[in-house]
Structure 1
Amino acid sequence: MTVYENIKKYAKKRNMNLQDVALKAGLSKNMIYQYNKGKNPSLETLTKIAEILGVSYNDLAGDNSTINAKSKKVDIKDAMQDDYTIMSYGGREIPPEELEMIRRILDGGK
């Protein structure tokens, strides 16, 4: 399924129309329809839409490898120490107590 079809499917399950989803994501009301015409959402936009629909990024992106993502190399240890970096797994934020456990594992169990 395409990104557009996935957004449409999950919006319908939530009794939402595509215009409502777009507006809640901070997009113009007809932006999601552009995804059906070949335009691809940014990683940030698709993540916002997934959050609104209560699904993961992967649920919307599926096998689509054409999502516009700007890759940026990040040192995970540095990111883990930064309180402003949002860490997530499967489209959901990692709870603080689990982040602390991950920090200890990365520091060698100290």
Structure 2
Amino acid sequence: MTVFERIKEVAKARGMNLKTVATNAGLSENALYRYNQGVEPKYPTLKAIADVLGVSVDYLLGNTDEMHSNKKDENVPIDLDKVLSEEGMAMFDGQPLSDEYKKALLAMLKTMKGND
């Protein structure tokens, strides 16, 4: 399976189209289609795409069949304040959260913390 086929397969499984993946990775809307024409993506580009899709670069390259093989211990706590405050991808139910939704969630969590 080629890099393009893997990207396309994972995007479909995540309910995303290739234009959305490209845009969320900071690429032009049609950038991913070049990889179907023999263009080899550079590592920083692959890393951005892998981050958007929630898989490892090794998975996209076909070096492993484990989607998250480069992830560290799954039991490491996630700092929601950091995830919701920073730019980048946060997802719910397989769909990316908008910046407005992330801000609303962060405000709600801070309000709830103040009511302890």
Q: Shorter chain as normaliser: what TM range?
A: 0.5 to 0.7
Moved over 4 A (4+): none
Residue 92 of structure 1 and its aligned partner are, at CA, apart by 3.4
**Alignment RMSD, CA only?**
2.1
Contact 1:51–1:91 (8 Å) recurs in 2: no
Higher relative contact order (CA 8 A, sep 6+): 1
For residue 57 of structure 1, what is the aligned residue in structure 2? 57
The yes-or-no answer on 1:27 pairing with 2:27 is: yes
Instruction: Give the conservation status (yes or no) of the 8 Å contact 1:47–1:91.
Output: no
Percent of aligned pairs with the same amino acid? 49
Where in structure 1 are there 5+ consecutive unaligned residues? 64-88, 98-110
User: 2 CA distance for matches of 1:49 and 1:32?
Assistant: 9
| Structure 1 Cα separation of the partners of residues 72 and 32 of structure 2 | 24
TM-score normalised by length of structure 1: 0.58
Distance 2:57 2:69 in 1: 7
CA shift in 2, pair 1:29/1:54, >3 Å = same
Q: Secondary structure at the match of 1:92?
A: coil
Q: Under a length normalisation based on structure 2, what TM-score does the superposition of the two structures give? A: 0.55
Q: Secondary structure at the match of 1:28?
A: coil
Unaligned residue ranges in structure 2 (runs of 5+): 77-116
Q: Does 1:3 align with 2:36?
A: no
Aligned length: 71
Amino acid at match of 1:14: R
Distance 1:23-1:93 versus aligned 2 partners, 3 A rule: farther
User: Residue 50 of structure 1 contacts residue 91 of structure 1 at CA under 8 Å; is this kept in 2?
Assistant: no
In structure 1, what residue type is equivalent to 2:10? Y
2: CA distance, partners of 1:58 / 1:30:
23
